[in-house]
């Protein structure tokens, strides 16, 4: 299952040759990869903090704050990439980030029910 948990990173690696073959500015891939790395790192940090939380309120706070914060981080970094390097770079980075987010969210939804650390309800 580790491959399925990181399928977004596999997609990121496969996107680089696509950018090169299609003639898309590679800076868009670099910007998208940097944004996605930050997204994943903040998410992993928040999940560890939420797992170590002692109250449900604290757990919810870390997870909700992480989601809102990562959304703003993603949007602002993509906007900055587009403004600094050009709209083609920003657009390609945004499309890449959207594809990575979609794959990541789908894999978390599918694999969330098989996570051995979560309690099961019957």
**Structural domain includes residue 40:** yes
Mean pLDDT of the region 66-94: 91
**Structural domain includes residue 117:** no
Orientation of helix 56-85 relative to helix 87-112, angle to 10° = 160
**Structural domain includes residue 18:** yes
In degrees, to the nearest 5, what angle opens at C-alpha 74 toward C-alphas 4 and 118?
Answer: 40
Domain count, the chain: 1
Residue 98 — pLDDT band, cuts 50, 70, 90?
very high
Q: What is the pLDDT of residue 121?
A: 44
Q: Are 83 and 31 in contact (CB under 8 A)?
A: no
Q: Are 120 and 109 in contact (CB under 8 A)?
A: no
Cα torsion 82, 98, 69, 10: sign: negative
Tell me which of 122 and 98 has the higher pLDDT: 98
Mean pLDDT of the region 47-60: 91
116 pLDDT more than 90: no
Range of 7's domain?
Answer: 2-112
**Structural domain includes residue 89:** yes
**Structural domain includes residue 120:** no
**Structural domain includes residue 71:** yes
Instruction: Provide the CB-side half-sphere exposure for 74 (13 A, CA).
Output: 23
Q: Enter the pTM of the model.
A: 0.81
């Amino acid at each position: 299952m580790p491959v399925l948990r990181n399928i977004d990173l596999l997609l990121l690696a496969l996107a680089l040759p696509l950018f090169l073959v299609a003639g898309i500015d590679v800076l868009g891939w670099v910007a998208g990869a940097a944004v996605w790395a930050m997204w994943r790192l903040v998410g992993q940090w928040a999940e560890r903090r939420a797992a170590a939380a002692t109250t449900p309120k604290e757990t919810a706070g870390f997870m909700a704050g992480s989601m809102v914060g990562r959304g703003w981080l993603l949007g602002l970094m993509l906007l900055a990439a587009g403004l600094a390097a050009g709209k083609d770079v920003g657009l390609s980075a945004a499309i890449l980030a959207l594809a990575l987010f979609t794959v990541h969210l789908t894999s978390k939804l599918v694999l969330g029910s098989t996570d051995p650390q979560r309690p099961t309800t019957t």
